Structure 1
């Protein structure tokens, strides 16, 4: 009992410091949150939530090596957690984008494997499937890029989340400059989702790809009217 009462103030302080860091993170005060999370992790080694926050924080600050390190530990500690694989793949992919083409080529397999593993572990993981759609579109065919593969995961998205499915189909058509087809998909996404993202995607298509700023304005005005 004596040990418990001696440790109690430290336990309370520790919990309070974590909550403080979490609040700072949610307020996007990443520089202030980081040392508090790091201090908490020293007292609670391998605490998964703290490591995840530090990985997310590193990602927001584009410190990809740090983010990769935290997510790598997490996926090793929790090999059945889809989200840790997804975040690891995302951080590795962003590092690849900022690296030389030669160095990036050496990372592609690990990025793809991470996203595929996340998708296999969680049959409803929307973000992993979005990542695979984008990855397969952006990769050259010689290193694994494939319109067919992108469409495969877009179809999976349609079953899991119809809004994301139509948005991803619109994204694919837009990538291949089939703007009329993209427009149809984004309209379907709006009909189902009615979210700011769905309206914004169609407005961006009109403004940036179809040279129709007036249509873009009408879509955004329509969204504002629906909000009120």
Structure 2
């Protein structure tokens, strides 16, 4: 009995250490200190390479470091364990999509069906999965019709986003508007995104259309100044200063 108690005490201590180590590694990840986070997660992975949370973070860090093929390997491991997990399907399909952009067009085309399959599966498994619908909307928008692209399908996923998260839906429609060179419509979509969400990203998207597509620095400056009234951001202040010199 005494030996059993000692063993249980040891195991309990090991578990606490593991939880504490994961928490520290996770904090580094959330702080976007990916190199340090990677070192911490590698140690955890060496101790237990079946810990799904650790495996997932290894894949996430590989993705942030643009090592998409490596990220796919980790996400595939997750899928082999839980094939009906929406987030795992999204991450695997998303990493595959990003990897496809780095290889030859012929190889990318060969991956296209798998990319769509995993993203569609994620969307089916989770009716409220925002990122998946963004990815599908973008893919169908950018693909040529000859290989399955469809603005109508792209819009349909953007409409699904409108029901789940209006700001994301308006951003998705804005992306399609820009791709179709319908810049006045993009302005309307991004103004709606600002009204419904108002994140710094929404202001930057609208300013980007004015500056880069409509060549209207004055309007872009007005939008960024509206953003500055809500957000304190060093890069935002720098961008405003640059535009001010161009407008004068």
What is the TM-score normalised by the length of structure 1?
A: 0.95
- Partner Cα separation in structure 1 for residue 164 and residue 179 of structure 2: 22
Number of residues of Structure 1 aligned to a counterpart in Structure 2: 228
Correspondence for 2:28: 24
- Partner Cα separation in structure 2 for residue 196 and residue 137 of structure 1: 24
- Structure 1 unmatched runs, 5+: none
Deviation at 1:76, TM superposition (A): 2.2
Cα RMSD, aligned residues only: 1.5
Deviation at 1:77, TM superposition (A): 1.4
Larger-gyration structure (1/2):
2
Deviation at 1:142, TM superposition (A): 1.3
Choose from 40, 47, 58 the match for 1:54: 58
- Structure 2 unmatched runs, 5+: 233-248
Deviation at 1:80, TM superposition (A): 2.3
SS at match of 1:124: coil
Matched ranges for 1:51-200 at <5 A: 51-200=55-204
1:150-183 Cα deviation digits (max 9, x unpaired) = 0110111111111111111111111110111111
- Partner Cα separation in structure 2 for residue 64 and residue 22 of structure 1: 20
Choose from 38, 41, 49 the match for 1:45: 49
- Partner Cα separation in structure 1 for residue 54 and residue 71 of structure 2: 12
Q: Is the 8 A contact 2:49 2:55 kept in 1?
A: no
- Partner Cα separation in structure 2 for residue 155 and residue 39 of structure 1: 43
- Partner Cα separation in structure 2 for residue 8 and residue 185 of structure 1: 54
- Partner Cα separation in structure 2 for residue 27 and residue 194 of structure 1: 23
With 186-195 and 14-23 compared, the bigger mean Cα shift is at 14-23
1:72-104 Cα deviation digits (max 9, x unpaired) = 111221222111111101110111100011111
Correspondence for 2:245: none
Deviation at 1:71, TM superposition (A): 0.7
- Partner Cα separation in structure 1 for residue 213 and residue 190 of structure 2: 14
Deviation at 1:227, TM superposition (A): 4.4
With 192-201 and 48-57 compared, the bigger mean Cα shift is at 192-201
- Partner Cα separation in structure 1 for residue 219 and residue 123 of structure 2: 37
Deviation at 1:140, TM superposition (A): 1.4
